[in-house]
């Protein structure tokens, strides 16, 4: 058995299934480039049959990424598998690269009877057929038994035996509903490997959801039971309570090497940058006490701890902040930096803008920011670029002007001008606070009827002159979107975020959820 753990990142697929986390093709490409830099082995870039947008994004990523295998998910149906096969083609055309099809079907009684309405025999037959269709496109075929956690052991063995005979190379055992606990999950993996014929010819994989907060613990238990691939996401993003968090898995394996005695190819110093990028793009803030990537993960508040760390670091620190990429955010550029230095830094960050005009637009925003903020970091550049991608996309509503008055003892008041498809409108409103007044003024014009589910502000870097990054989550009918905006003025950032959310609600989405 290999001592290397294959890190399969599914931020762009399972992570994207989080409410409001849908990403554009350009955003997915930015994250995929960063995942490659991070050194993940496999990037699950999406579910090709979900929509044309998903297909295009996977196709583009398969053409760009050189060092990671690019994978598409496919239900066990002919159309899904063929769409996945076509989407990963650019990776197959180059002998140096690799493309994977990940096909799945549910194997638990509850799913087979109520969702699929298929018998056990039909499920086995379809699973085998899906693997055979996939093999027409690539030798790298992964099969997942959805809801393996609640599947009958003998039936799982029968399905896995059949798909291995058909040619699947990776067998994934998902805890789709986050039901398991570590000891039985590790035992399940051990038993499968012991009982499935020819189990040593494939890679065993685990994929855990976090409904009971045990996704990482369950994944590591499966590793101890013999799994050599872990499916995970950056920041633990994913449906409901999310997936196992990549940074926690990787750092557990590295930090407790004495116990696991295993390796990964992940460059841990890229973890914080990747985490911030995913948070900025999806609008999912990182809780301050989140392990590894939370703002407090390496902060020592109590006097006793500070004293200990100062005397001897290891008294309270089991990892070094800089080893996961904290404090390495370079002071990138300043007020006097020229266009060439700016272009070079964007390139180093893996950011490619579509045109010279787009570069000029971001450079102009950079200069404005540099006037307000003395030090510009990589995170500031990422936010400026995100803003530019937003304005490149079809935008119905744009912020033109905002004036807010807020004073002790007075009711806050906002005066807002927006343009709707190029046509300017003005409105004003009082509110409980400046942000409330601003949103009410916008609503007086737009009358969107959307509900505000979440409003959050995070500082992109430290200091009171930092840009504030605002996320709003809006819902209307059955749609949920996240809107983002960044500015050194958080009320302006809030207005931008709100309008960004409204623009996303306007855009049609015909995405299919693979698990429905």
Q: Site size for ligand KIV, by CB under 6 A?
A: 10
Closer Cβ to Zn ion, 14 or 54, answer by number:
14
Smaller CB distance to ligand KIV: residue 173 or 450? Answer: 173
Contact indicator for 365, 387 with CB cutoff of 8 Å: yes
**Distance, CA of 267 to chain centre:** 18
Residue of 11, 98, 176, 180 interacting with ligand KIV (CB under 6 A): 176
**Taking CB under 6 A as the rule, does residue 174 contact ligand KIV?**
yes
- Closer CB to Zn ion, residue 237 or residue 293? 237
Shortest Å, Cβ 176 to ligand KIV: 3
**What is the spatial distance between Cα 353 and Cα 482, in angstroms, rounded to a whole number?**
23
For the record, the structure tokens of 182 come out as 């570590």
Binding partner of 144, given ligand KIV, Zn ion, none, CB within 5-8 angstroms per partner class: ligand KIV
Q: Which stretch binds ligand KIV (CB under 6 A): 56-64, 172-180, 328-336, 488-496?
A: 172-180
Determine, following the binding rule CB under 6 A, whether residue 27 of this chain makes contact with ligand KIV: no
* CA–CA separation, 89 and 71 (whole Å): 10
Q: Find the helix or strand (DSSP H, E) in which 489 lies.
A: none
- Please state, in angstroms and as integers, the Cα–Cα distance from residue 73 to each residue in 40, 49, 80, 450, following that order: 17, 8, 8, 32
* Of residues 174 and 483, the one with the C-beta less far from ligand KIV: 174
For residue 33, the minimal CB distance to ligand KIV (Å) is 23
* CA–CA gap between residue 485 and residue 240 (Å, rounded): 24
d(CA 116, CA 75): 11
Distance in Å, CB of 73 to ligand KIV, minimum:
6
The Cα–Cα gap between 358 and 384 comes to 11
CB of 10 to Zn ion, least distance (A): 7
Give the tokens for residue 306.
């500070």
C-beta of 249: minimal distance to ligand KIV in Å? 16
User: How many Cβ atoms from other residues are within 10 Å of residue 69's Cβ?
Assistant: 22
Q: Which residues bind Zn ion (CB under 5 A)?
A: 14
Of 215 and 441, the one with the shorter C-beta distance to Zn ion is 215
Q: Which does 107 bind (CB under 5 to 8 A by kind): Zn ion, ligand KIV, none?
A: none
The string over 135-161, giving b where at least 16 C-beta atoms fall within 10 Å of a residue's C-beta and e elsewhere, is bebbebbbbbbbbbbbbeeebbbbbbb
Kindly indicate which of the ranges 170-178, 337-345, 384-392, 461-469 contains the residues binding ligand KIV, using the contact rule CB under 6 A. Answer: 170-178
The distance of closest approach from Cβ of residue 445 to Zn ion in the complex, given in angstroms and rounded to an integer, is: 40
Q: Nearer Cβ to ligand KIV, position 51 or 329? A: 51
**163/155 Cα distance (integer angstroms):** 13
Q: Which is nearer to ligand KIV, 70 or 474 (CB)?
A: 70
Q: Does 14 bind ligand KIV (CB under 6 A)?
A: yes
N residues, the chain: 516
Instruction: Give yes or no for a contact between 329 and 379, defined as CB atoms under 8 angstroms apart.
Output: yes
104 makes contact, choosing from Zn ion, ligand KIV, none, with CB < 5 to 8 Å by partner type, with ligand KIV
Gap between the Cα atoms of 123 and 28, Å rounded: 33
Q: Among the candidate windows 169-177, 257-265, 355-363, 386-394, which touches ligand KIV by CB under 6 A?
A: 169-177
Nearest residue (CB) to Zn ion, 14 versus 378: 14
DSSP 75-116: ESSHHHHHHHHHHTHHHHSSTT--EEEEEEEE-SHHHIIIII
Residue 41 in contact with ligand KIV, rule: CB under 6 A: no
Q: What residue spans of 138-233 are helical by DSSP H?
A: 153-166, 182-195, 215-224
Q: Which of 16, 54, 140, 146 binds ligand KIV (CB under 6 A)?
A: 146
Beta strands 99-106 and 141-146: pairing type?
parallel
> Could you tell me the smallest distance in angstroms from the CB atom of residue 174 to Zn ion?
6
* HSE-CB of 207 using CA atoms within 13 angstroms: 29
Site string for ligand KIV, 71-100 (x = CB under 6 A): --x---------------------------
Which option in ligand KIV, Zn ion, none does residue 233 bind, with CB closer than 5 to 8 A by kind? none
- C-alpha to C-alpha distances, 190 to 185, 205, 256, 271, nearest whole angstrom: 9, 12, 21, 30
Token couple for 286: 């990182």
Residue 32 CB partners (closer than 8 Å, separation 6+): 12, 43, 45, 61, 64, 65, 70
Residue 465 Cβ vs ligand KIV, minimum distance, rounded to whole Å: 42
Q: Which of 8, 55, 104, 439 binds ligand KIV (CB under 6 A)?
A: 104
Residue of 107, 144, 482, 503 that binds ligand KIV (CB under 6 A): 144
Query: Which position's Cβ is nearest Zn ion?
Result: 14
- Binding window for ligand KIV (CB under 6 A); candidates: 171-179, 183-191, 325-333, 380-388: 171-179
Residues 431-460 within binding reach of ligand KIV (CB under 6 A): none
Q: Give the CA count within 13 Å in the CB-facing half-sphere of 46.
A: 33
Query: Least CB distance from residue 264 to ligand KIV, whole Å?
Result: 20
Rounded to a whole number of angstroms, the minimum distance from the CB of residue 514 to ligand KIV is 6
Q: Is 207 near ligand KIV (CB under 6 A)?
A: yes
**Considering Cα of 231, then 234, then 236, then 242, what sign does the dihedral take?**
negative
Q: Which residues bind ligand KIV (CB under 6 A)?
A: 14, 73, 104, 144, 146, 172, 174, 176, 207, 209
């Amino acid at each position: 058995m290999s001592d290397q753990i294959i890190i399969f990142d599914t931020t762009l697929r399972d992570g994207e299934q989080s409410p409001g986390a849908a990403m554009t093709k350009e955003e997915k490409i930015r994250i995929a480039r960063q995942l490659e830099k991070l050194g993940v082995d496999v990037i699950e870039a999406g579910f090709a049959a979900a929509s044309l947008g998903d297909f295009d994004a996977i196709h583009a990523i398969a053409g760009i990424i050189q060092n990671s295998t690019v994978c598409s998910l496919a239900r066990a149906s002919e159309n899904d598998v063929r769409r996945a096969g076509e989407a990963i083609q650019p990776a197959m055309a180059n002998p140096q690269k690799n493309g994977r099809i990940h096909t799945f079907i549910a194997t638990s009684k509850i799913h087979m009877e109520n969702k699929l309405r298929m018998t056990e025999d039909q499920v086995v037959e379809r699973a085998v057929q899906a693997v055979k269709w996939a093999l027409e496109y690539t030798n790298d075929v992964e099969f997942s038994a959805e809801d393996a956690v609640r599947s009958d052991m003998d039936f799982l063995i029968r399905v896995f035996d059949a798909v291995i005979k058909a040619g699947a190379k990776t067998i994934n055992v998902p805890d789709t509903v986050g039901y398991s606990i570590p000891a039985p999950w590790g035992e399940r993996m051990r038993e499968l490997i012991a009982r499935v014929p020819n189990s040593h010819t494939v890679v065993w994989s685990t994929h855990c959801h976090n409904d009971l907060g045990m996704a990482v613990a369950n994944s590591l238990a499966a590793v101890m039971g013999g799994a050599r691939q872990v499916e995970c996401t950056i920041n633990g993003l994913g449906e409901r309570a999310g997936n196992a968090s990549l940074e926690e898995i990787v750092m557990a394996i590295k930090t407790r090497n004495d116990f696991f005695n295993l390796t990964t190819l992940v460059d841990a110093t890229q973890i914080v940058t990747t985490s911030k990028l995913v948070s900025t793009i999806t609008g999912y803030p990182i809780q301050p006490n989140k392990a590894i990537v939370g703002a407090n993960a390496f902060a020592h508040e109590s006097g006793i701890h500070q004293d200990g760390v100062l005397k001897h670091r290891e008294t309270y620190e089991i990892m070094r902040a800089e080893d996961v990429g904290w404090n390495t955010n370079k002071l990138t550029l300043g007020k006097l930096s020229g266009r060439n230095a700016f272009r070079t830094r964007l390139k180093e960050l893996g950011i490619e803008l579509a045109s010279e005009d787009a570069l000029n637009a971001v450079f102009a925003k950079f200069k404005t920011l540099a006037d307000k903020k003395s030090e510009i970091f990589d995170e500031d550049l990422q936010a400026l670029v995100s803003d530019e991608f937003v304005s490149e996309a079809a935008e119905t509503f744009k912020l033109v002007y905002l004036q807010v008055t807020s004073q002790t003892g007075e009711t806050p008041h906002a005066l807002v001008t927006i343009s709707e498809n190029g046509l300017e409108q003005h409105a004003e409103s009082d509110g409980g606070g400046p942000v409330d007044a601003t949103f009410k003024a916008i609503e007086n014009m737009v009358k969107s009827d959307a509900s505000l589910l979440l409003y959050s502000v995070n500082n992109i870097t430290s200091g009171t002159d930092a840009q504030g990054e605002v996320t709003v989550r809006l819902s209307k009918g059955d749609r949920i979107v996240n809107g983002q905006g960044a500015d050194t003025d958080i009320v302006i950032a809030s207005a931008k975020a709100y309008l960004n959310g409204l623009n996303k609600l306007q855009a049609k989405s015909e995405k299919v959820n693979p698990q429905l």
